[in-house]
């Protein structure tokens, strides 16, 4: 991609890009005269240093990245509130001996404390690899993104 040495930015994208290298050149009402004349070279056109895909992503998708950060912060705050309210609800239902209730907004069922048994697959694989292999199952997993707040 070519940048513009005149220091001006594209009124459409906000980027420092030479009109000649813009894919919207033919339909842009603000395109430079020199860019529209294919026989001329633009005096302000200059090579832009190559950006890595990561740099391009971070530059172009800054709004998406910020929106995701904002949503995750809101989600974290809501999950903390939910945890507090849920604990109070468990405590109240236990105190009154209520096992279940529902209203027009939600249905709540009290689940008493219990214990569960799981298999330590790491140890099983290490100590009995043949049994681990025999009972292991492989399933496809869809592509996704893992996001965490700092």
Measured distance CA(107)–CA(30) in Å, rounded: 59
Do 22 and 31 form a contact (C-beta atoms < 8 A)?
yes
For 1-5, 18-22, 50-54, which range has the lowest pLDDT when averaged over its residues?
Answer: 1-5
What pLDDT band is residue 12 in, cutting at 50, 70 and 90? low
Backbone angles phi, psi at 64, to 5 degrees: -65, -40
Taking only the tens place, the pLDDT of each residue in 18-35 is 666 666 767 777 777 666
Taking the C-alpha atoms of 34, 40, 46 and 52 in order, what is their torsion angle to the nearest 10 degrees? 90
- Bridge partners of 3, per DSSP, are 46
What pLDDT digit, counting tens, does each position of 82-138 carry? 999 999 999 999 999 999 988 888 899 999 889 999 999 999 999 999 999 999 999
Domains of the chain, by residue range, sit at: 2-50, 62-128
Report DSSP letters for 20-61, one per residue. GG-TTGGG-TT--HHHH-TTSPPTTEEEPPP--HHHHHHHHT
């Amino acid at each position: 991609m070519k940048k513009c040495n005149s220091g001006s930015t594209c009124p459409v994208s906000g980027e420092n890009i030479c009109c000649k290298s813009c894919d919207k050149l033919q339909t842009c009402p603000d395109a430079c005269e020199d860019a529209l004349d294919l026989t001329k070279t633009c005096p302000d056109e200059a090579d832009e240093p190559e950006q890595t895909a990561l740099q391009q992503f971070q530059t172009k998708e800054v709004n998406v990245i910020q929106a995701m950060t904002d949503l995750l912060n809101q989600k974290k705050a809501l999950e903390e509130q939910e945890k507090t309210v849920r604990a109070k609800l468990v405590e109240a239902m236990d105190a009154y001996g209520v096992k279940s209730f529902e209203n027009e907004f939600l249905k709540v069922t009290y689940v008493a404390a219990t214990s569960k048994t799981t298999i330590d697959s790491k140890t099983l694989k290490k100590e009995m690899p043949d049994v681990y292999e025999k009972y292991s199952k492989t399933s496809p997993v869809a592509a996704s993104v893992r996001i965490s707040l700092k």
